[in-house]
Amino acid sequence: MSSLGWRQFVKFRLLLTEAILALMAVGVGILMGGVLVWIVGEDPVKAILIIFEGAFGTAYDLGMVLYFATILIATGLSVAIPSQTGNFNIGAEGQTLMGALAAGVVGAYGPANLPHGTCLTLAILAALLASGLWGAIAAAIRSYRGGHEVIASIMLNFIAAGVSGWLVVTYFQAPDSQNPETITVPEVFQLHRFDSFDGAPATMAIFIALAFAFCFWLVLERMRPGFVMKAVKQSPEAAIVAGYSPNKAMFWSFTIGSAMCGLAGAVMVLGESWRFRLEISDGFGFLGIPVALLGRSRPLGVVLSAFLFASLHHGSSLLDIESTKIGRDLAQVIEAIVVLSVVSMVPLLRFMTGKFSTRDR
Amino acid sequence: MTELMPLLEIILAILRNASPLVIAATAALFCERSGIIQISLEGLMLFGAFAGAAAANYYGIGVLGLVAAIGVGFVLGCIYGVLVIQLKVDQIIAGTVINMLAWGGIPVINKALFDSSASTPALGLEERFSSLLPISIAIFTVGFTYYLIHDTSYGLRLTVAGEKPEALQAVGVNPLYVRWSAVVVSGVLAALGGATLSICLASNYTRNMTAGRGFMALAALILGKWRPLPTFFACILFGACEVLQMKMQGSQLPGGVTIPSQLVQIVPYVLTLLLLIGFVGASRAPSKLGKPF
Amino acid sequence: MNEQNPPLIEFRSVRKLFGSFVANDELNLKIHQGEIHAIIGENGAGKTTAMKLLFGLEEPTSGQILYKGEPRPWFGPRDAASAGIGMVHQHFMLSGFHTALENVILGREHASLNREGPLKRKFLSGFLQIDRVKIRDELDRVACKVGFNIPWDCSVENLPVGLQQQLEIVKLLYSGVDVMIFDEPTAVLTPQETSHFLQMLKDLKNDGKTIVIITHKLQEVKEVADVVTVLHHGKSVVTRPAKELSIQAMADLMVGRPVKLGELPRLPQKVSENLIEITDLTVVSPGRPNLLSNLNLTVSAGQIVGIAGVEGSGQMELWSFICGPKDYLNKKKLLSGSFKLFGKEALGLRRSDVREISVGIAPRDRLKEAVLIESSLIENDILGHDHEFACGAFPSNQWLDRGKARKQILSRLDGFHIVPCDPDARIDALSGGNQQKFVMSRELTRKPKLFLCAEPTRGVDVGSIELIHGEILKRRDSGSGMLLISSQIEELMALSDKIYVLFSGRIAAVIDRHNFTEGLIGHAMGGGNS
């Protein structure tokens, strides 16, 4: 038997099953979305075409999709990485906020006389650090105090909104603005936008996001920490016997995952609005959950899934204009149904086939 | 007598604010004490608020709004039950799905019914209730829940289902039935709590009107260590924070110190976080919380 | 006594299979009304399965279970309770969070002590107030009758284990049972609690109850039982009045004849330095005063040391301790003792430290602790040994050289005849026997200086047993030292150079190879002194 060929085939077959599951979930999502559209009295086919046009119609639209995809890769990774040790990061909103705040503050008040690249690196690193630290709070609560990281993360989301709002209004308020936001960051801190997208905030940050995804893949598939993560997720008991520490593994995967949100926040601040304003995270942190779930928490899956959801998110904004019966909220319904399908398809199949077989043990 | 009026006003305001929280937190109490995580309070409340306002508006009768909310809560509770009890889907993800369906689906339905994705039409005075109704519902709910949990066999079996379902099985009671009842009650109560927001405390439904109250109710449950009376007081505390935050917009405390309203707003969450870290005494969740049977 | 009357409960040629595993085989059992009937046998002899069959938690593959001459009419513990049969499990079915009173009345909160017909509940009775005063009175009466004094409003988790067991018993009595089955009742009791318990059994018998007691403790059987049934490998070997059997005889029957594995080639013992030295080790934890008591134990290179003992004797405590002392002692108290590994003080070692100093570990619960069931063979080979495949410069030694693992694994699989021999096959595609061979190969082919091994041939077919035993002996002959924990006395006797027998956390006997007899070992396992 050709061992290399066989090995690739086995791996390929596994990936294929996962990909089929994901595609089926998307299919169900679109189908149910279409049904909903039909119920409210709009033509489903027309709605889908509008979404397509909204996402891919002009160069500007493509640029926006790229921009959103960059953000979603980052927040998707922030959910996918902790998943690999069995943790659930629901705190991406707060982590993104803190990362954005750090980027905005460093950008606004940092040393503006350094070269462009250095400034950007500084700001992005600050963002990664801030969001990583924010996530580390929940991670520490889980690993070292035994509290549930999900509840802690939810609390931290709200706390982040409050704290960042207070900090901006009290210390970092832009004097010339009525809105609660920081001053505009100087050009040396701004992410340069690609020319071919008609002014859309598509920046080279996409490469950073892709690089992070690649590093995630490297660690998971080729490095010892990744092996430990997978062992911890599959069987904490076996991991302990093997000499690994599930607590340590969970802490670091959660913290590093949270740090990914920093990139998302930095992109929002340095790439799009050029300042930090309240609620800049705008639900993108939370969207990381569907992205990661659809992408099965795998690096490549997260990237593809991010592009899909970015297209859906941006494309559906055209619905507000082109349709009177349905608006951009349809996207969120489809997202919900996709998540539902992804997590319930396997149990549903098992339930339906298992109903007729009795096993003693 | 007249000096008491502002105080009475404040107390009423606190109770008013706290009532939806109390009803929702009690909803979560049923669910979580039986061993099932309840993270979809936000979505349930939104659905209840929307259904309540929409039905009250459509039929012109306020009570039907409450009935509609109860119905919607029942259906959602059943959906959640199928997902987490029969299919054993991860409870946090299932709860999040319900929240997402609320955030996305309600504007869609709203637009279809009322041509606006932001809010339902305002209700006239005859269709609404005074704020005494939610307060009464809240107090009755807490009292009855306390009695149920402490003094009845239903309460005993409910709490055992969340601690050691095997013990129930050993005496021939099916823990899954117990959990099902808890999940359905949870859905109904949470939706009812949401309905009081739109029908009693406001005059219509507006987008995202719960504004995180669902999560705040969950925080109150945790701060109250999953027991009815402490949870009730936690809700009161959170209601007071909200009233305080409203009253303090821009004003100063004696001594010239301004506490920023954003920070007052997050006091409930900070307290809960401190509890999780262990600073506010030990917290003991039901042993089997989150673990399917 | 009651041999002339028809039996109350009877098993007739009962067979129970789980897949291809035979749990009970031609089981014949007769329990008469009003007697104390002891059922004894080793781990895996089929005792628990027999009780599950009695209760209706499982159905027999063939054969009949009769109650008062008719096939048993119930299919679950609740119906069984209506018929008056109840069981006190080895692992209590109590909710620690709730009070004693609440645990007792669970399921019968409104019924009173006088069982009036089948339990019929109205839907609304769930909302009626529980009459705690009346219940407390009734419970006091019940408890008094058997000499118990239970604080009804105390949380069960705060009660000592002996009281918890009393609670389980009261629970049964409160539901009005006539037949009471006890599964290893004195495993968790102190000697004083045990004598109270045995006295209580006699009181219950005088009250007209029928008692079935499943136990290893032969002394107690002698003290209290009327009839003894010995189970061995799923069969009922003998049923005799207790006074006709000596403890020695019971031990012999329990252990059975050794399975002829064929005499494995064995070099004379060539002992060198001490690998493990445990001196006067005593560990306690809240509520468990005899985890490990005054243990003295050595394992030398070139020697296989067997540890015999029944469940709860301290085998697994000792195991966890040696695998990672620091982690084991967390939340426990070390009252005395020292532990040396390879001659160096080792009380502060964690599991990861122990792993890295040439100690191979094959844990007892293969599926839960030894393998990642959803992963491939090669992933499972790396488990716990990833430091051997470390490579890479940046970051240093954090990369995994899977190619190297792949090259090595084929020879490992080959040497142990593991089928299918495919590194990428998922490990759950292997049979239990092959899985175990894999775990053994993973550890033994790495030539550890010390090998810790628990239940090496559990769930393994006879051919693989021979291979695994052969490899273990080969390792020993090459100079490794081994600690072998097994519930199969035949296996311990076949492999060990010396055997420590544990009972209730202390060493009941140390037996050298030339003194090995089943009787001696079984006797010590049951608590007898040598």
Residues B221-271: tens digit of each pLDDT? 999 999 999 999 999 999 998 888 887 765 666 655 667 888 888 999 999
**pLDDT tier for residue C270 given thresholds of 50, 70 and 90:** confident
Q: How would you classify the pairing of strands C344-345 and C481-485?
A: unpaired
> Which residues are CB-neighbours of B143 under 8 A, at least 6 positions away?
none
CA distance A280 to B112: 29
Tell me which H or E stretch contains A46: helix A44-56
pLDDT in tens, B106-122: 999 998 888 887 787 88
* pLDDT tens figures, C350-366: 888 888 888 999 998 88
Residues 6+ away with beta carbon under 8 Å from C492:
C306, C307, C308, C484, C486, C499, C521
Task: Specify the pLDDT at position B250.
Answer: 57
B219 CB near a chain A CB, below 8 Å?
yes
pLDDT at C300 over 50: yes
Q: How far apart are CA B31 and CA B162, in angstroms?
A: 9
CA C193-C194-C199 angle, to 5 degrees, is 100
CA–CA distance, B127 with B119 (Å, rounded to integer): 17
Enumerate the residues of chain A whose CB falls inside 8 A of the CB of residue B226. Answer: none
CATH class of A18-347: mainly alpha
Give the strand pairing for C399-400 and C359-362. Answer: unpaired
Distance from C-alpha of B167 to C-alpha of C106, rounded to nearest angstrom: 8
Residue C83: C-alpha distances to residues C55, C107, C211, C453 (Å): 11, 16, 15, 45
The residues with which C376 forms a beta bridge, in sequence order, are C426
Residue ranges, CATH 3.40.50.300, chain C: 35-44+79-116+125-255, 272-358+448-530
| Chains with at least 3 CB pairs less than 8 angstroms from chain B | A, C
Q: Per the omega criterion (within 30 degrees of 0), is the bond before C420 cis?
A: yes
Q: Taking a C-beta distance cutoff of 8 angstroms, is the pair C302, C269 a contact?
A: yes
Distance of CA B270 to the CA centre of its chain: 19
Could you tell me if C33 and C210 are in contact, meaning their C-beta atoms sit under 8 angstroms apart? Answer: yes
- Tokens representing A163 are 């704290």
Confidence grade of residue C121 (pLDDT, cut at 50, 70, 90)? low
SS3 category, A296: coil
Neighbours of C397 (CB within 10 A): 12
C375/A230 Cβ within 8 A: yes
CA distances (Å), origin C45, targets B44, C233, C298, C491:
53, 5, 31, 15
Over range B149-174, report the average pLDDT: 92
**Residues of B contacting chain C (CB within 8 angstroms):** 147-148, 151-154, 156-157, 159-160, 163-164, 166-168, 170-173, 284, 286-287
Q: Domains of chain B: which residue ranges?
A: 4-277
C510 bridge partner residues: C500
What's domain B4-277's architecture?
Orthogonal Bundle (1.10)
Nearest CA to CA, how far is A348 from chain B (Å)? Answer: 6
- A40 contact residues in B (CB cutoff 8 A): 108-109, 111-112
Asked if residue B193 lies in contact with residue B18, where contact means CB atoms within 8 angstroms, the answer is no
- Using an 8 Å CB-CB cutoff, list chain C residues near B166: 93
Tell me the C-alpha to C-alpha distance, in Å, between residue A174 and each of A104, A122, A171, A189, A275: 12, 22, 9, 17, 9
Tens of pLDDT, residue by residue over C441-474, are 999 999 999 999 998 988 777 777 888 898 999 9
Of the ranges A64-73, A185-194, C479-488, C512-521, which one carries the lowest mean pLDDT score?
C512-521
Residue C76 to residue B172, Cβ atoms within 8 A: yes
Enter the tokens of residue B142: 């807490």
Q: Quick check: C114 pLDDT over 70?
A: no
Q: Which residues contact C197 (CB under 8 A, 6 or more apart)?
A: C165, C185, C186, C189
Rounded distance between C-alpha atoms, residue C76 and residue C58, angstroms: 9
What does the alpha-carbon distance between residue A146 and residue A153 come to, in Å, rounded to a whole number?
Answer: 14
- The domain segmentation of chain A, as residue ranges, is 18-347
Distance from CA of A119 to the nearest CA of B (A): 31
Query: What pLDDT score does A141 carry?
Result: 93
Could you tell me which CATH class the domain C272-358+448-530 is placed in? alpha beta
Closest of C485, C490, C377 to residue C439, by C-alpha: C377
Q: Which amino acid is at A91?
A: G
The yes-or-no verdict on residue B76 having pLDDT over 90 is yes
C-alpha C33/C-alpha C205 separation (Å) is 10
CA angle A226, A229, A233 (to 5 degrees): 145
Cis upstream peptide for B254 (omega within 30°): no
The arrangement of secondary structure in C35-44+79-116+125-255, i.e. its CATH architecture, is 3-Layer(aba) Sandwich (3.40)
**Given an 8 Å threshold on Cβ–Cβ distance, is B104 in contact with A156?**
no
Query: Structure tokens of A219?
Result: 């660690």
Residues of chain A above pLDDT 90, percent: 70
Residues in chain B with CB shorter than 8 Å from the CB of A93 are none
Among all chains, which residue has been given the structure tokens 């993270």? B39
Residues for chain C: how many in total? Answer: 530
The chain C residue lying nearest A2, using CA atoms, is C422
Compare all CA atoms of chain A with the CA of B222 and give the residue at the minimum distance: A151
Structure tokens at A185: 């960051």
Query: Which of B109-113, C57-61, C173-177 is modeled with the greatest confidence?
Result: B109-113
Q: How confident is the model at residue A158 (pLDDT cuts 50, 70, 90)?
A: very high
Helix (H) or strand (E) holding C102: helix C100-105
Which among B34, B171, B283 is the top mutation candidate for probing chain C, defined by the most C β-carbons within 10 Å of its own β-carbon?
B171
Q: Looking up tokens 């339905």, which residue turns up?
A: B109
Residue C483 contacts by C-beta under 8 Å, 6 or more apart in sequence? C276, C299, C305, C307, C322, C450, C451, C452, C453
Q: How many CB pairs under 8 A join A and C?
A: 76
List chain C residues with CB under 8 Å of A7: 424
Whether the CB of C95 is below 8 Å from some CB of chain B: the reply is: yes
Looking at the predicted structure, is the pLDDT value of residue B174 above 80?
Answer: yes
Contact A238 C386 (CB under 8 A): no
Chain C residues with CB-CB distance to A223 below 8 A: 392, 398-400
Q: Is the pLDDT of residue A358 over 70?
A: no
Maximum distance among all alpha carbons in chain B?
Answer: 65
Mean residue pLDDT across chain B: 90
